[in-house]
Structure 1
Amino acid sequence: MNTSQSSLMDTPLARTLQKDICQGAASLGLDFSREQADLLTRYVLLLDKWNQAYNLTAIRDPGAMVFRHIIDSLSIVPHITGEAILDVGSGPGLPGVVLAIMYPDKKFTTLDSNGKKTRFMHQAKLDLHLDNLKVANARVESFKADALFDAITSRAFSSLVNMVDGTKHLLSPSGVYLAMKGLYPEEELKELMDRHDIELICCSPLKVPGTDGDRHLVILRNRH
């Protein structure tokens, strides 16, 4: 960490954000290093800075970003499997950048069609030295990867049918879809099962401290 980054971390705002991140993660039963806590805090500070100019997220307050974005993304950490993970419709890097920080030994690709958001993710990759992260600016339907992915994540990315339709060419035969949703998506699941040979592994409620409303993680795989 360079001098300017060190001084940025030594501010009341940074200390408050880091405290909230650590407490939120602890309430999820997660344990991470001081370095990871620093990286998550710096990510929020960077997102707040860019958001003032480029409107990357509708959430303007960095304190609210911690719970609505960071802790929400951390809630699926225990469900991540495989070595190569694709995050589609990643926006400014949610949950992809957060997961890359939490799993430095896994390879993550974040994908978004919005140029401003992918430029921000490139900057986050550079500033946070995330060597395990690749950022792609493309529509998911046209995106081509060098190898298939073990898991594909999404957060507030269209419907389940659209997610599967757009990414089925990118998932390995044994891979899983991990879709973050609000309310239990009963109608979306019914539509998906009617149109695809997809198996629902589970739909787990997610308890995200500091946020209101229901959250669910839908885990799917192809039938064999």
Structure 2
Amino acid sequence: MTGPTEPAPPTPEAARGVFGSARLPLAEQYAALLAHEGVVRGLIGPREAPRLWDRHLLNCAVLAEVIPANASVCDIGSGAGLPGLVLAIARPDLRVTLVEPLLRRTAFLDEAVEQLGLDNVTVTRGRAEDVSERHCFDVVTSRAVAPLERLLRWSMPLVSPHGALVAMKGSSVAAEVVESGTTLRKLGCAEPEILVLGEDSLIHSTHALRVAWADPSRVGLRPPRPPRPSQRRRR
């Protein structure tokens, strides 16, 4: 990956509070990579470059507020690394797996991880269904990947018994929760929690959804099969 030939977007004051002084240089380096290589490779649109901080980096970084210490995190459909790579930068205690099916995106992610020196990140090329670590991650996250019903079916099989889906969603997330009621019940999910993050510190706050398991003791267990007709008790 070549270095950026265009100036990176200026760092807003809010970034210092979100990333902290120790991690801010890495966040600035990543912003510069997105502003140049991200645009050149078609990972983000040219119009997004000037607003990378407000609409992308900071919005993703505040998700770290609701992720436990030393957690394992799986970011499905990671794209250019949003939010997974941002979380790895903001929180070096996290162990982050970036899952992305497209080669040109995983190539960018591999190069970005190496250039930023992030030893807490693993890049996996594939879909959520291809990830072999079933029910192993403390947090499964994503950003603008799919409607909630599909996202639940892809994400929850990766969530550990005491973990949770923590996904970035739009402002219509409440309506999505209502529409996904049947899927939530079928999967054995607890009542979803809608989160609004960064209201006091960001220009654009982040809407997120947290979904845990209703009964952690049953996670990973196959539901019992109904008896065959011949086995049913005759009246």
TM-score for both structures, normalised by structure 2: 0.79
- Measured in 1, the distance between the counterparts of 2:35 and 2:149 equals 32
Kindly tell me the number of residue pairs found equivalent between the two proteins. 208
Q: Is the 8 A contact 2:196 2:208 kept in 1?
A: yes
Quick one: structure 1 residues 158 and 149, their matched pair in 2 at CA, closer, same or farther if it must change by over 3 Å? Answer: same
- Measured in 2, the distance between the counterparts of 1:200 and 1:117 equals 34
| Equivalent in the alignment of 1:148 | 136
| Equivalent in the alignment of 1:69 | 56
| Equivalent in the alignment of 2:126 | 138
Determine whether 1:41 maps to 2:31: no
| Equivalent in the alignment of 1:162 | 150
> Shift of the alpha carbon at 1:179?
1.2
Q: Deviations over 1:119-171 (max 9, x none)?
A: 11111100000000001110112222387100111111101221121122211
| Equivalent in the alignment of 1:86 | 74
Which structure 2 residues correspond to residues 1-224 of structure 1 after superposition, within 5 A? Answer: 13-14=7-8, 17-18=10-11, 20=12, 23-25=13-15, 30=18, 32-34=20-22, 36-81=23-68, 83-145=71-133, 148-196=136-184, 197-206=188-197, 207=199, 209-211=202-204, 215-224=206-215
> Shift of the alpha carbon at 1:193?
2.3
The sequence identity of aligned pairs, in percent, is 28
- Measured in 2, the distance between the counterparts of 1:46 and 1:68 equals 16
- Measured in 2, the distance between the counterparts of 1:53 and 1:183 equals 30
Give the unaligned 5+ runs of structure 2: 216-235
> Shift of the alpha carbon at 1:41?
0.6
- Measured in 2, the distance between the counterparts of 1:131 and 1:51 equals 21
- After TM superposition, the structure 1 stretch with the greater mean CA deviation from structure 2, 123-132 or 136-145, is 136-145
Dislocated runs of 4+, deviation >6 Å: none
- Measured in 2, the distance between the counterparts of 1:48 and 1:223 equals 42
Give the unaligned 5+ runs of structure 1: none
* 3-state SS in 2 of match to 1:62: helix
Q: Is the 8 A contact 2:88 2:96 kept in 1?
A: yes
> Shift of the alpha carbon at 1:109?
0.5
Please tell me the residue identity of whatever aligns with 1:166: W
Quick one: structure 1 residues 180 and 52, their matched pair in 2 at CA, closer, same or farther if it must change by over 3 Å? Answer: closer
Q: Is the 8 A contact 1:59 1:65 kept in 2?
A: no
Please tell me the residue identity of whatever aligns with 1:205: V
* 3-state SS in 1 of match to 2:202: coil
Q: Deviations over 1:59-117 (max 9, x none)?
A: 54533111111011112121112520101111100010110011112200011112111
- Measured in 1, the distance between the counterparts of 2:72 and 2:39 equals 32
